[in-house]
């Protein structure tokens, strides 16, 4: 019985052993057969499936001294696509990185998809708020300092020449600082698999959204490296030579912090869904609403476009209400205009602010436009006082206050009215 079981087991196991022998993990016989060869695969016409083996050749020249230019993009981002194309066509950008000819390119050019989970670990230490973001880093060889250093971080405003100039300026400034530091202290610079992949790889072709190319929107809190140079004051007269005094004790170096542009508290956040392109009418409506908000809240209102994936972690939003325009103040939502309301929100014209020189008769429109508030009371008081004084003057009665005192009183009231009407009125009730 045991013998029979052993035979059956052997018969079951044997075919798998034979098959394992037939398909080795590495075809060593072919490796031995080929001898000394180098085969370049996937290059131009050779990538037609026909194996073309070349003569044995050594590796190419080292490219460890090349700088790194990385483009951080996100899916469905029209400016990102424009910038990618510009790197292949624009002579200013091609001079820095040529994706079509990596061998001749001045730098190593890499494009990273912000949604690609397989690459997210690389940029954990960076603050990236807008796309496309361009990063420039020194070569791996450490010829120009630490290769981890962010020499340039910036966004794309639609002008390739400007971007190229900004990058080269930053690199020059960095090299100047580096050489300064090296001359001061030379040592400082030297010291269960399934059929699906476990992450969502970047799409082979980034679908172009069927929307008009959106104009560049200035985002807030965007890191800019290097920070803009301060305005240099006129040179001070050279002081007379002083006796040398000991230098003050060095203060501890603060922790390195990225330099940010001053944050603007008020901003409009346009939340869209990269997977569902909005139509031209909606895009136009969004622009009108933003213009209207700018008219209401002032032209300094910053606009930022955020994908649903990012926005859903910060704001209480439902996907079915996209696109949404949020008005936030210091991160707090003040107003929310969702897709359902967008077609009904009429662009409003701003109320012209009252000026101290406007006639007292403005009290009625003030009352009508702002309601019965302090400004309306002030305006009515100006009107009443002026009428009362004029009437007393016409009838020859004493006016109680001399001219100077009366003008002072009027000015005080006008100031009060101005102060109350100057801030823009709250937005119309469009909150969903």
Partner 1 sequence: MRLIALVLIVIGLLPLPMAWAQDNLAVDLPVEIRQWFRNPDGSCVQCSIGMCGVDQNVPAAATLLWDTEYGSRERGGSGPSRVADYCNRRGIRAWNVVGDDTFEWMKWACATGRGAAIGAGANHFQTLVGYDPTSGRWYVCNNNSPERIDSYDEAHFRRLHLSSGPWVVILDYPPHPARPEYRPWWR
Instruction: Assess 151 for contact with partner 1 (CB under 8 A).
Output: yes
Contact 318, 271 (CB under 8 A): no
Instruction: Assess 399 for contact with partner 1 (CB under 8 A).
Output: no
Instruction: Assess 231 for contact with partner 1 (CB under 8 A).
Output: no
* Contacts of partner 1 in 246-305 (CB under 8 A): 256-259
Sole binder of partner 1 in the list 42, 243, 250, 316 (CB under 8 A): 42
Shortest CB 425 distance to partner 1, Å: 41
Instruction: Assess 201 for contact with partner 1 (CB under 8 A).
Output: yes
Instruction: Assess 368 for contact with partner 1 (CB under 8 A).
Output: no
Contact 386, 410 (CB under 8 A): yes
Shortest CB 21 distance to partner 1, Å: 10
CA 287, 291, 297, 302 torsion-angle sign:
positive
Burial (CB count <10 Å: 0-12, 13-18, 19+), residue 111: middle
Shortest CB 109 distance to partner 1, Å: 6
Contact 207, 275 (CB under 8 A): no
Count the Cβ atoms, other than its own, within 10 Å of residue 428: 12
- Cα(48)–Cα(54) distance, integer angstroms: 16
CA 159, 165, 167, 169 torsion-angle sign:
negative
Instruction: Assess 80 for contact with partner 1 (CB under 8 A).
Output: no
Instruction: Assess 238 for contact with partner 1 (CB under 8 A).
Output: no
* Contacts of partner 1 in 9-38 (CB under 8 A): 20, 23-32, 34-38
Shortest CB 150 distance to partner 1, Å: 5
* Contacts of partner 1 in 181-200 (CB under 8 A): 192-199
**Only segment of 77-85, 221-229, 301-309, 360-368 that touches partner 1 (CB under 8 A):** 221-229
Contact 263, 129 (CB under 8 A): no
- Cα(158)–Cα(69) distance, integer angstroms: 18
**Only segment of 55-63, 88-96, 209-217, 237-245 that touches partner 1 (CB under 8 A):** 55-63
């Amino acid at each position: 019985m045991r013998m029979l079981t052993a035979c059956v087991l052997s018969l079951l196991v044997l075919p798998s052993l034979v098959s394992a022998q037939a398909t080795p993990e590495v075809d060593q016989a072919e490796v031995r057969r080929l001898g000394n060869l180098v085969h370049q695969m996937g290059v131009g016409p050779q990538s037609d499936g026909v194996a073309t083996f070349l003569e044995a050749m050594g590796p190419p020249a080292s490219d460890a001294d090349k700088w790194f230019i990385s483009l951080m993009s996100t899916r469905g981002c029209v400016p990102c696509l424009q910038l990618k194309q510009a790197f292949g066509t624009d002579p200013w950008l091609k001079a820095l990185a040529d994706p079509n000819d990596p061998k001749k390119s001045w730098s190593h050019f890499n494009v990273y998809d912000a949604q690609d989970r397989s690459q997210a670990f690389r940029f954990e230490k960076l603050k990236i708020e807008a796309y496309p973001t361009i990063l420039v880093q020194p070569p791996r060889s450490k010829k120009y300092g630490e290769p981890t250093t962010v020499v340039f971080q910036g966004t794309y405003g639609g002008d390739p020449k400007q971007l190229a100039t900004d990058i080269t300026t930053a690199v020059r400034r960095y090299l100047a600082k580096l050489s300064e530091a090296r001359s001061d202290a030379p040592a400082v610079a030297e010291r269960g698999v399934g059929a699906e992949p476990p992450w969502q790889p970047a799409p082979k072709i980034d679908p172009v959204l069927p929307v008009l190319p959106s104009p560049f929107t200035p985002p807030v809190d965007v890191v800019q490296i290097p920070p803009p140079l301060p305005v240099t004051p006129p040179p001070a007269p050279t002081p007379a030579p002083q006796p040398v005094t000991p230098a003050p004790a060095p203060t501890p170096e603060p922790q390195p912090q990225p330099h940010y542009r001053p944050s603007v508290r008020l901003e409009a956040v346009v939340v869209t869904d990269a997977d569902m392109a909005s139509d031209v009418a909606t895009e136009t409506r969004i622009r009108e609403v933003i213009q209207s908000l700018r008219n209401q809240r002032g032209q300094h209102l910053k606009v930022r476009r955020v994908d649903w994936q990012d926005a859903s972690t910060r704001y209480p939003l439902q996907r079915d209400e996209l696109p949404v325009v949020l008005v936030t103040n210091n991160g707090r939502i003040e107003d929310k205009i969702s897709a359902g309301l967008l077609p009904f929100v009429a662009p409003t014209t701003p109320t012209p602010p009252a000026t101290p020189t406007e006639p007292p008769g403005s009290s009625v429109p003030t009352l009508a436009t702002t309601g019965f508030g302090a400004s309306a009371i002030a305006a009515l008081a100006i009107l009443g006082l002026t009428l009362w004084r004029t009437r007393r003057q016409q009838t020859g009665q004493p006016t109680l206050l001399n001219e100077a005192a009366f003008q002072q009183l009027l000015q005080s009231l006008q100031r009060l009215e101005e102060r109350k009407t100057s801030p823009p009125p709250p937005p119309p009730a469009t909150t969903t």
